[in-house]
Amino acid sequence: MQRPMDMSPYRPYRRMGQSCLTRPIREKVVRWVKPEPRHHLNGRFVGRALSRQDVEAAAEIWRQAYPELYGSTHDFMLFPEEYETRMALMETWEADSLAKPCCMLVAEETAGGRLAAATLMTKMDQNLQIEYTFAGTHPAFRRQGLMGLLGGMMAWMCKASGAEYLTTFLETWHTITQAETLKLERGGRGGWKVAGIFPGNFTRWAGDQQEYRACEVYMYRFINDGEKYATKPEEWQLHPELLRLWEELEAFNARLAAREQQDK
| Assigned architecture for domain 23-163 | 3-Layer(aba) Sandwich (3.40)
pTM for this entry: 0.94
pLDDT at 190: 56
pLDDT at 187: 39
Give Cβ neighbours of residue 60 (< 8 Å, ≥ 6 apart). Answer: 115
- Whether residue 20 contacts residue 231, with contact meaning beta carbons closer than 8 Å, is answered with yes
pLDDT at 262: 60
pLDDT by residue, tens only, the chain of 264 residues: 778 899 999 999 999 999 999 999 999 999 999 999 999 999 999 999 999 999 999 999 999 999 999 999 999 999 999 999 999 999 999 999 999 999 999 999 999 999 999 999 999 999 999 999 999 999 999 999 999 999 999 999 999 999 999 999 999 998 888 887 777 544 344 588 999 999 999 999 999 999 999 999 999 999 999 999 999 999 999 999 999 999 999 999 998 877 655 655
- Whether residue 14 contacts residue 235, with contact meaning beta carbons closer than 8 Å, is answered with no
> What residues does each domain of the chain span?
23-163
pLDDT at 3: 86
pLDDT at 125: 98
